[in-house]
Structure 1
Amino acid sequence: MAEQQQFYILLGNLMSPDNDIRKQSEEAYDTIPGQTKITFLLQAIRDAACAEEVKTMAAVLLRRLLSSSFEEIYPGLTVDMQTAIKTELVTSIQTEASPNIRKKVADIAAELCRNLLDDDGNNQWPELLKFLFDSVNSDNVGLREAVISALLQTMEDQTNPRVQAHAAAALINFTEDCPKSLLIPYLDSLVQHLHVIMVAKLQELIQKGTKLVLEQVVTSIASVADTAEEKFVPYYDLFMPSLKHIVENAVQKELRLLRGKTIECISLIGLAVGKDKFMPDASAVMQLLLKTQTDFNDLEDDDPQISYMISAWARMCKILGKEFQQYLPVVMGPLMKTASIKPEVALLDTQDMENMSEDDGWEFVNLGDQQSFGIKTAGLEEKATACQMLVCYAKELKEGFVEYTEQVVKLMVPLLKFYFHDDILLMGALTTSESMPLLLECARVRGPDYLTQMWHFMCDALIKAIGTEPDSDVLSEIMHSFAKCIELMGEGCLNNEHFEELGGILKGKLEEHFKNQELRQAKRQDEDYDEGMEETLQDEDENDVYILTKVSDILHSVFSSYKEQVLPWFEQLLQLIVQLVCPSRPWADRQWGLCIFDDVVEHCSPSSFKYAELFLRAMALSLSDTSPEVRQAAAYGVGVMAQYGGENYRPFCTEALPTLLGVIQSPDSKVKENVNATENCISAVGKVMRFRPECANVNEILPHWLSWLPLNEDKEEAVHTFDFLCDLIESNNPIVLGPDNANLPKIFQIIAEGVANESVKSEDACSKRLANVIRQVQGSGGLWTQCVTMLNETQQKAIQDLLNTA
């Protein structure tokens, strides 16, 4: 302790205005061994009782020591001592109260990290990288500032390009993971630093031909713009001229990667700042891209520009919208060529596989019997990316993409049979399934015959893929895609053979769901059962439930397209669905079982009543279930019974009403986890009053129902409540309007809130009716003023928006 106190005095004397004292202190400091210096300096920095100027001097000296004498001191320290230094630095950055000292400690950590990069550029302090990621996303503002400041300072180290490149790469990782709200306060500083570095490195490229740091900086700029979005607009003109200059002039073979990354950067900035800001440069950028595209056939297969170009075209399509259609003839040829890459595959015995396994890019799946299936993955990432771009064009251009739908469908459909999945192929398979309904939408413009022909090409393959796909992620996407296609095509899209095959597959999925649950319960009784196994079992359960949701999606699309005529086919699944809603089943089973019965009631009534005894009791119990998801499904069911079910469901609607009111009025009904279920209950009460008024004391319930509006979370149900509200206002309902129209200011607030929260959109039929209500009041002078003055600024703007658009 005494030695440490003597050291503090020495640090103070190093700052003395007296030259003699300062000189003596410097000589004394120089005699202290390196390891002891490090120990004392770290202690000074960490000591809360130490004066700030002394701590500042300690931080400056420690950084200088690691900078000038690293090789002489650090490698000779014990591993424990090296670890202690790293731990002390990280702890000080986290706990130091003074922003000045915290920044200086971050600079020390940056200096140590720089010295700990080996000759191959590998980071020997990985724990710091994790700490930095956590810090940038931390709630501690000072901590974020210190880390970002140290990063930027490291990027400006012009003497060490390799370190600069690492710092830029770290910045890319930060900005990709950093929420926009956390990035904005540092945006100006980040951008100005990046601009200074980019200009310097551009000059360096011209003078010396060095490009490593410039490549990383260009990607950093792209990442910052991607996260900042419209907040990047003020900096657009700072970067775009230089970026265009790089694309125009970086034509040498060794600059291909730089050029590709710059093309990516320009397109990401364009997407971030939006069409209005980007348009003055759009033509010039498109010409640069077109020139590269024209030379596409001269590019080598491994040219890195290819993948950057493909992605950039898709972003340009998002920016330009329909105006992009004119470029399709140039873009589509190379894109289809890349999307059509055929992977090299082989069936090998074990010996052959061992001989080939060292070859780059081969991956294998063991098929048993001493055989393996191998695939060479080179080019597959580009293929998957190209397929994603085709989906993007179909989504953005719709009927403008119709010329290419046939060749894209012929490319995509066979990919559904491709069973070998690594991450790349998984991405490709997901893209393929997503493309199917989009391509049908594009094809609609050519009429029903063309559309039907395209659907027939897809349908068999989709059904077969649902029956055979082993990967649950891919399977769920294919099922979702199939459901979307049925909704889009409507009644008549499935023939008897399709129904027969589909019925067998869905039955199999449901039976497998129950079997897997039994197996998991058995494993929980196993003597090896522990927390790790439980985590695995829960993951498996989540996968199974997700597949169950897609079974529900498919049944929803079939019911909404075919109505009651599909009920005889559905009966083969009926007992399995009844099993789902048993009170003993997990909540997710009951939720999705009820959703399926909701669809039966909504789309097949009044024929659905013949199954009522199988699900009504479960639905009644579920209205007050502990799971909000189950309550929501049950409440929706009451609403569709009132609206579509017919006379037979009247007693159930009467019986359900008190329970619905109880759920809505419970103290925690509006907390986040309950709000969706509560809003479905409010909507259901409205539907009972509207379609089955004999089941409710409408005059008593209406004032309460009005006080619960508007619905803000469940947009679909919100529209139903506004429709009913319009009915009540248009019929001059005295309870809703109040004596002398006293409730109109409240009604104005409900309407304004609905518009502001997008619970009512201009395309909704009720928006015109609501606007008419507003206009009627507009002509009544004092009443209009009374209603409008009750609204805040946001609500007043919402009312004006409604009048302008409806």
Structure 2
Amino acid sequence: MAEQIQKIIQNLVGNIQNAEIQKQAENSLKQISQQDPNSFVINLLTLLKHSENKDIRTFIASHLRKITSKFSEQSFTCIWESLTPETQSAIKQILFELIKIEQTSSIRNLISSCIGELGSSLLEDTQNNQWPELLPQVWQLFSQESIHLQESAFKILSNLLTFASENFEKNQNELKVLFQNGLNNSNTQIKVSCIEAIGAYICVLEPKEQKNYQFLLPLIFQSLYQVTQTSQDDGIKILEVLNDIAETEPKYFNENFEDLFSVVWKLNMEEKEKTEKDLKEIGTETITTIITRIPKLIRQNPQYIQKLLELVYSHMVDIEKEIESDWLSPKEGFSEEIEEDSDFESVRFGMNTIDKIIESVGDKETLPALWAIIGKLLETQNDWRYIYAAIMSLSQVGQYVEEDTVLKSVIDKILVFLQHQNPMIRYSVLHTISQISEDAKPTLQELYKSNLTQILVQQLNDSVPRVVSQASEALATYLEGLKSEDIDQTQIEKILQDLFLLINKGISIVKEKAVFALGSLIELSKDKFLNYFDQCMISLFDIFSQYTQKEYRQLRGNTIECITLASQAVPKENFSKYLEKIVQTIIYLQDQQIDSQNKIDPLKSYVLTGWQRLSLNYSSQLVSYLPNIIPGIYKLVEQIVIKKTEDEVEIYNSDDAELALGMLEVFIQEFGSNFSSYVEQTTKLITPLCTYRYSENIRDTASKCLPGLVKCAEKEPHIQQNIVRYFIGILWDAANKEYDSEVMIAQINAMKSCIENTGDFMTSEELVNLSQKTVKLLLDSDKRKAESEKWKTEQEVDDDEKEIYEEEVHLEEDLQVQIAELIGVLFKTHKQKTLPFAQDLYSEVLPKVIDTKVSDKMHKFGIFLIDDMVEFLGFEFLGEQKWDEFLKALSHFVLDKNIQVRQAAAYGLGIFSINTPVQIFPKYSSVILKALSDSAQIAQGKEKDKNFGHCRDNIISSIGKVLRYQFDSVNVGELLPFWVKNLPLKKINRKLFSIINFQASWC
């Protein structure tokens, strides 16, 4: 077996490029481990001990961790429990032996990680220690003279502190001494591994406990500086640890922030000539991370803001002074997003950092310092890089400048540099105009109208292709914020003439951006463009036949975008004659020209968005093409979302995955029942993404696709019911794993829509199960809310953190309101089956959520429940006692100070009036009418006109419902004039039509 395993591993670690062979090797290895896990593991350990091939030993050390740890990647199955006690004991013993004999440090570190994660798995349950010898063995390693063994001990400890820190509660003093000794050790590797262990522990400690280890920070910063003097790579490792702490526990640095800043400043500014770029960047990033988490550290200290910005600009000017010809005129197929040089990465790093600082610290505090530095940089005479950095950084301020005069002064200040002899400075001006055109849209366009359009068009004639390309992009984004009346026929003709000259004669990046600008021009011009539309379409379609080489993929993508934008901008009768041609073109491109081996082929995103635009306007015409469109789309999506197991996927590009989901969501909605043949395959693609842990947006969008798929199957009720059962299971599983309340809201809303689209389909048993899960979800949300409320009152919590906790409370309350809507749909669709559930809510939940001490959102939640019970269950099922209590609550909350609570209660009183039996309504009428009348007299407060109008309409509508449905029980002579006086209803909707008809019968 050992030889067989070695051969399989060789196929996995060798230079074999065949993906099929590698996949077979993975499957073979998995099969052997499942058939005989004991022999498999023993053979792995033997190979790890005796193989001379470092690649094989590296693979085995990593693989052993993955198959024995509870904390490894989801795609690996932990086989520890299936091993015999003898094998388990052998693993524990041999791993420690291997640490002592392995000479390659990277492999030794992997073995240490394996021990650490396996140990954490076995120590996780503090009441059932399955490896009692582990900690004594680790402490023993620390006592050895060998540097390698001490380093391994720290590596093991890092994992144990990460996953099983509870086991060290009684070892605080030992840890402090251990950490202190490690930091004072003269060996660099010991210092680094010690700091990694400290970082792991700090990240799992409560804030109060972290203070006990704050005394280590001066030693850590001292070690950081010492290590960088001999090994900058190791200095980067230390800063990465500090950055990780800053991400999760920034307050740890509160009292020592100035010391850290001093070290970073010294490395970046005072010793900049000998400090490498990567070390400088991670240092600045660490400082920025702390500040974005605790902005008060510098918010009230302008000199720190000034110094921090100087630190950032030091990165932006640290670029080559000579401009290379490849920058001026890049090769065909060049992509700025993919192939940008390290110089631009430094500039982008600085720009992004400035954006983070302004967003977190605040524009009022940051912008004055920024203006001062930029002013000085723009005056630089002897080095263009300072002017370039200043102008590029201005691209980040558009969204933060509130005053028009300031925005105009920024643009006016940089426009003069369009005449500068240096092309990178001209480029920077156009880049900044492009970004501000997007961020400050439409304010910038309203300030400059066509004046800036003319200036940008002039730049299309620049002698440097890179500048021309950026001019086209700036023109495109500026046009997107203009109104149709801001451009006339003369300008359209001039722009068209210049753009087609670039499309025909420019290099690839010039052609691409010119087509991009053309799309914006068509969108803006609309009917004004019709005179040029046919000629443009002919020229655009020619691009597909003329530029078929790989280097023109981006150009073909831009052309798809331009044509499909035109499909939305011009009348259907003008575009329809080109519909078949663009459909066939996109089908050909997605089937024949997208490189399946290239994970970042730009054509993918353009094909997806192209189909999306076409389906929004031409879905009925596209139905006949679906058999040709859909297979290629599936193939394309499968290249983006790679299925590893039944429940797990791998995504290389999250942006492409979001586009793919967005496109599928539109297809599902637009094609409806015509999409029914593709529901099963689409389901297989989408459902694993509902639990994709690396992106909230992907989980959110995937969940939103499911109700549409249910609706697609509405012509086949049996299939639809099976689908919705499956989807509810998927969504519950996703909601139970979810940690983001906003995504959870989307998941619950998707569940609600799935049930609403299907109607009464659940058995009583299924409904009980669903009801129990709903209550559990509600209780879990309430626990999280209570935890956030508790943290808000902690002394250590500052104002910024309080805002975060308050936001979390609000999100939990929004989630609970969404749960109330889900419950309402259950009442609506399953009526009598929900009565036991309704009784539980009535006795256990309602009293808590309508208590006067809880928040407005909780009151809204409670009123939603009452409204839904009244509307969908009615008097017959609820009985007179509940009916009386519901009226008491509704008549109280219709006078609430909160407009949304008042509106919900007003709606409830109307439904209450409809569903109350005529013979008993007189006992309620005076209470209802007085409550509605008093509510109508409440003056508008700070709420928006729209919200106040909706509330008012609900009140008047409910009075109308009393007149319409309980006519004989009220004094019509008094009530009707009051009702008529408050007409018309300003926010009319379908629910009010019957009231309007009733009004008409009196006229």
Pairwise same-fold verdict (TM > 0.5): yes
User: Which residue type is aligned with residue 420 of structure 1?
Assistant: R
Contact 2:437 2:444 in 1 (8 A): no
Counterpart of 2:611 in structure 1 is 313
1:439 aligns with 2:736: no
Q: Secondary structure at the match of 1:624?
A: coil
User: Which residue type is aligned with residue 775 of structure 2?
Assistant: K
Contact 2:587 2:632 in 1 (8 A): no
Contact 2:379 2:387 in 1 (8 A): no
Contact 1:578 1:615 in 2 (8 A): no
Change (3 A) 1:284 1:81: closer
Counterpart of 1:638 in structure 2 is 909
Cα separation, 2, equivalents of 1:626 and 1:327: 55
Query: What is the Cα deviation at residue 634 of structure 1?
Result: 0.6
User: Which residue type is aligned with residue 686 of structure 2?
Assistant: M
1:402 aligns with 2:673: no
Cα separation, 2, equivalents of 1:81 and 1:255: 31
Cα separation, 2, equivalents of 1:232 and 1:580: 58
Query: What is the Cα deviation at residue 381 of structure 1?
Result: 4.2
Change (3 A) 1:82 1:439: closer
Change (3 A) 1:561 1:677: same
Counterpart of 2:458 in structure 1 is 153
Q: Secondary structure at the match of 2:714?
A: helix
Counterpart of 1:272 in structure 2 is 569
Q: Secondary structure at the match of 1:555?
A: helix
Contact 1:460 1:498 in 2 (8 A): no
Residue 416 (structure 2) aligned to one of 98, 101, 108? 108
Counterpart of 2:547 in structure 1 is 250
Q: Secondary structure at the match of 2:935?
A: helix
Query: What is the Cα deviation at residue 631 of structure 1?
Result: 0.8
Contact 1:260 1:308 in 2 (8 A): yes
Counterpart of 1:524 in structure 2 is 792
Counterpart of 1:504 in structure 2 is 772
Cα separation, 2, equivalents of 1:707 and 1:585: 36
Residue 430 (structure 1) aligned to one of 700, 703, 706? 700
Q: Secondary structure at the match of 1:583?
A: coil
Contact 2:503 2:514 in 1 (8 A): no
Change (3 A) 1:549 1:190: farther
Counterpart of 1:664 in structure 2 is 936
Contact 2:591 2:632 in 1 (8 A): no
Residue 168 (structure 1) aligned to one of 460, 469, 472? 472
Change (3 A) 1:80 1:191: closer
Q: Secondary structure at the match of 1:444?
A: coil
Give TM-score scaled by structure 1 length.
0.68
Counterpart of 1:340 in structure 2 is 638
Query: What is the Cα deviation at residue 635 of structure 1?
Result: 0.4
Counterpart of 2:486 in structure 1 is 185
Cα separation, 2, equivalents of 1:436 and 1:72: 58
Counterpart of 2:503 in structure 1 is 202
Contact 1:293 1:330 in 2 (8 A): no
Change (3 A) 1:708 1:717: farther
Query: What is the Cα deviation at residue 639 of structure 1?
Result: 0.2
1:685 aligns with 2:959: yes
Give the alignment of 1:528-677 within 5 angstroms: 528-574=796-842, 575-606=844-875, 607-609=877-879, 610-612=881-883, 614-646=885-917, 647-648=919-920, 650-666=922-938, 668=940, 671-677=945-951
1:328 aligns with 2:626: yes
User: Which residue type is aligned with residue 855 of structure 2?
Assistant: P
Cα separation, 2, equivalents of 1:542 and 1:227: 40
Change (3 A) 1:631 1:111: farther
Cα separation, 1, equivalents of 2:794 and 2:509: 56
Cα separation, 2, equivalents of 1:346 and 1:270: 38
Change (3 A) 1:274 1:403: farther
Query: What is the Cα deviation at residue 245 of structure 1?
Result: 1.8
Counterpart of 1:57 in structure 2 is none
Give TM-score scaled by structure 2 length.
0.55
Deviations 1:721-752 (A, max 9, x none): 223224xx2xxxxxx32xxxxxxxxxxxxxxx
Deviations 1:308-341 (A, max 9, x none): 2232223222232222111111111121123334
Contact 2:431 2:474 in 1 (8 A): no
Contact 1:689 1:698 in 2 (8 A): yes
1:75 aligns with 2:367: no
Deviations 1:443-494 (A, max 9, x none): 222x322323333333322333333333323322221111111112111x22
Change (3 A) 1:515 1:125: farther
Give the alignment of 1:86-165 within 5 angstroms: 107-111=415-419, 115=422, 117=424, 123=428, 136-138=441-443, 141-154=446-459, 156-165=460-469
Give the alignment of 1:414-429 within 5 angstroms: 414-416=688-690, 418-422=691-695, 426-429=696-699
Cα separation, 1, equivalents of 2:671 and 2:622: 8
Contact 2:703 2:747 in 1 (8 A): yes
Q: Secondary structure at the match of 1:712?
A: coil
Contact 1:387 1:432 in 2 (8 A): yes
Contact 2:817 2:858 in 1 (8 A): no
Query: What is the Cα deviation at residue 86 of structure 1?
Result: 9.2
Change (3 A) 1:475 1:134: closer
Cα separation, 2, equivalents of 1:135 and 1:388: 26
Query: What is the Cα deviation at residue 601 of structure 1?
Result: 0.3
Cα separation, 1, equivalents of 2:405 and 2:490: 24
Residue 720 (structure 1) aligned to one of 994, 998, 1003? 994
Q: CA RMSD in A?
A: 4.0
Cα separation, 1, equivalents of 2:565 and 2:419: 32
Query: What is the Cα deviation at residue 383 of structure 1?
Result: 4.1
Segments of structure 2 that go 5 or more residues without pairing to the other structure are: 1-377
Change (3 A) 1:640 1:525: same
Contact 1:343 1:380 in 2 (8 A): no
Contact 2:700 2:747 in 1 (8 A): yes
User: Which residue type is aligned with residue 204 of structure 1?
Assistant: K
Counterpart of 1:709 in structure 2 is 983
Change (3 A) 1:110 1:453: same
Counterpart of 1:471 in structure 2 is 740
Contact 1:158 1:164 in 2 (8 A): yes
Contact 1:248 1:288 in 2 (8 A): no
Deviations 1:89-135 (A, max 9, x none): x99x96599x9x999877415446x848369x6x4998777765566
Query: What is the Cα deviation at residue 380 of structure 1?
Result: 5.0
Deviations 1:592-630 (A, max 9, x none): 210111010011111234424554333212112111111
Cα separation, 2, equivalents of 1:649 and 1:466: 43
Query: What is the Cα deviation at residue 587 of structure 1?
Result: 1.2
Cα separation, 2, equivalents of 1:413 and 1:140: 43
